[in-house]
């Protein structure tokens, strides 16, 4: 029998260790990441699935009400969530876990379950057992966003060979014009570029405040890194990478100063970030989604495709109870 218990930060100290060894665990599932949010921002309702007094799965989640509907929702403070499970968890066990979640949510008065799953590239063992189990219980796709993913080869030259010719021309032009790349701690300069760029293009602000971004880098100094493209001492573009797990590094923020567009700073940056990601042993570089509520930004898609990236689903499932 599987018991579902509410997460307690004083009792369940194993959470992050479980995530790190799980089949589909990522930085976004860890309490060390989730707890950077102020306590009043979300009503945490994370769950632990226990069998014979041992944890067999985790579900980072919040209790969220919207338009009169009470959701048990994948943690809204992370890019994706879903149920975290060990490597080689059986399809039968997945069905039992989803059944237990269904019963728990109904008993606790939730009206809808929502979860956004990491793309398959984040899994150590490829399987779709959780999705299969969810569909057995009537889950539906709410949306299927597309994330651009680059398979990393064993040498940068092999990845450059997959670049579109226009991209090879662009990064070589930038290098000839004197653009250099280095890892940086100058988040203030990058954030100014990011904030201005997002405001010009989309009229929005970054997901994180500058204080939150700095706090995350303090929490994960080895897993969150800023790379800057410089013209002499001036940062003209930057990328903030989140090492989501041992398989995938994610380009969480990408931005450039449009006044220096001709220097192709982002093209030079990604060529160097790809090389560094190969050296660090990652299998994939996730460029992030180019769709919002399944509406594609074709220009952004073309840019990511120019590096040889292809699209994979980042799915959100829902169940009305």
Please report the DSSP string for 5-50 in residue order: EE--TTT-TTHHHHHHHSSS--GGGSHHHHTTS-TTTS-B--EEEE
What pLDDT does 203 receive? 63
Give the DSSP H/E element, type plus range, for residue 237. strand 234-243
Tokens of 156: 């940068």
Q: What is the β-pairing status of strands 295-296 and 310-320?
A: unpaired
Are 101 and 60 part of one and the same domain?
Answer: yes
Tell me if residue 65 falls in helix, strand or coil. Answer: strand
Are 58 and 140 part of one and the same domain?
Answer: yes
For the domain that residue 68 is a member of, what is the CATH number? 3.40.630.30
- Residue 137 in any domain: the answer is yes
CB 251 within 8 A of CB 239: yes
Tokens of 212: 């939150």
Alpha-carbon torsion 236, 290, 250, 308, what sign? negative
What pLDDT does 40 receive? 82
d(CA 150, CA 167): 15
- Residue 84 in any domain: the answer is yes
CB 84 within 8 A of CB 22: yes
- Residue 100 in any domain: the answer is yes
Are 65 and 125 part of one and the same domain?
Answer: yes
Domain span at 235: 153-282
Nearest-5° Cα angle at 166, 160 to 168: 30
What pLDDT does 37 receive? 85
What lies within 8 Å, CB to CB, of 100 at 6+ separation is 2, 3, 4, 49
Are 225 and 255 part of one and the same domain?
Answer: yes
What's the average pLDDT block by block, 10 residues per block, for the chain (321 residues)?
A: 94 96 97 88 95 96 95 90 95 97 97 96 97 96 96 98 96 96 96 80 75 95 97 96 98 93 96 98 97 94 96 97 94
Furthest C-alpha separation in the chain: 65
CB 74 within 8 A of CB 81: yes
- Residue 298 in any domain: the answer is no
- Residue 247 in any domain: the answer is yes
- Residue 261 in any domain: the answer is yes
Are 88 and 121 part of one and the same domain?
Answer: yes
What pLDDT does 201 receive? 61
CB 48 within 8 A of CB 61: no
CB 105 within 8 A of CB 97: no
CA distance between the termini of the chain: 22
Number of domain units in the chain: 2
What pLDDT does 198 receive? 72
Are 217 and 105 part of one and the same domain?
Answer: no
d(CA 296, CA 290): 6
CB 147 within 8 A of CB 287: yes
Query: How many Cα atoms are found within 13 Å in the side-chain-facing hemisphere of 288?
Result: 15
d(CA 92, CA 55): 16
d(CA 107, CA 141): 23
Are 182 and 71 part of one and the same domain?
Answer: no
Tell me if residue 160 falls in helix, strand or coil. Answer: helix
Whats the size of the chain, residue-wise? 321
Are 204 and 97 part of one and the same domain?
Answer: no
- Residue 73 in any domain: the answer is yes
Are 247 and 200 part of one and the same domain?
Answer: yes
d(CA 38, CA 87): 32
Are 85 and 8 part of one and the same domain?
Answer: yes
Are 136 and 6 part of one and the same domain?
Answer: yes
- Residue 98 in any domain: the answer is yes
Are 7 and 138 part of one and the same domain?
Answer: yes
């Amino acid at each position: 029998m599987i018991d579902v218990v509410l997460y307690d930060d004083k009792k369940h100290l194993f959470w992050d260790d479980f995530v790190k060894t799980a089949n589909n665990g990522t930085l976004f599932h860890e309490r060390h990441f989730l707890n950077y949010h102020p306590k009043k921002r979300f009503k945490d309702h994370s769950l632990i699935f226990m069998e014979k007094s041992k944890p067999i799965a985790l579900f980072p989640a919040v209790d969220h009400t919207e338009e009169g509907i009470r959701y048990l929702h994948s943690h809204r403070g992370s890019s994706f969530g879903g149920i975290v499970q060990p490597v080689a968890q059986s399809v039968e066990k997945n069905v039992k876990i989803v059944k237990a979640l269904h019963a728990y949510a109904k008993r606790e008065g939730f009206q809808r379950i929502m979860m956004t799953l990491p793309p398959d590239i984040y899994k150590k063992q490829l399987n779709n057992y959780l999705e299969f189990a969810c569909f057995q219980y009537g889950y539906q796709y709410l949306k299927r966003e597309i994330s651009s993913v680059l398979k990393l080869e064993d040498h940068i030259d092999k990845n450059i060979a997959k670049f579109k010719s226009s991209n090879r021309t662009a990064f070589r032009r930038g290098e000839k014009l004197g653009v250099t790349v280095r890892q940086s701690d100058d988040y203030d300069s990058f954030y100014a570029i990011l904030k201005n760029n997002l405001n010009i293009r989309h009229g929005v602000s970054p997901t994180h405040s500058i204080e939150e971004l700095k706090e995350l880098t303090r929490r994960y100094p080895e897993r969150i890194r800023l790379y800057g493209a410089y013209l002499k001492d001036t940062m003209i573009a930057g990328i903030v990478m989140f090492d989501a797990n041992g398989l995938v590094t994610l380009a969480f923020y990408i931005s450039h100063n449009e006044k220096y567009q001709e220097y192709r700073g982002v093209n030079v940056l990604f060529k160097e970030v790809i090389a560094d990601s190969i050296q660090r042993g990652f299998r994939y570089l996730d460029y992030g989604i180019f769709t919002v509520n399944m509406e594609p930004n074709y220009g952004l898609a073309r840019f990511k495709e120019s590096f040889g990236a292809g699209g994979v689903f980042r799915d959100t499932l829902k169940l009305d109870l």
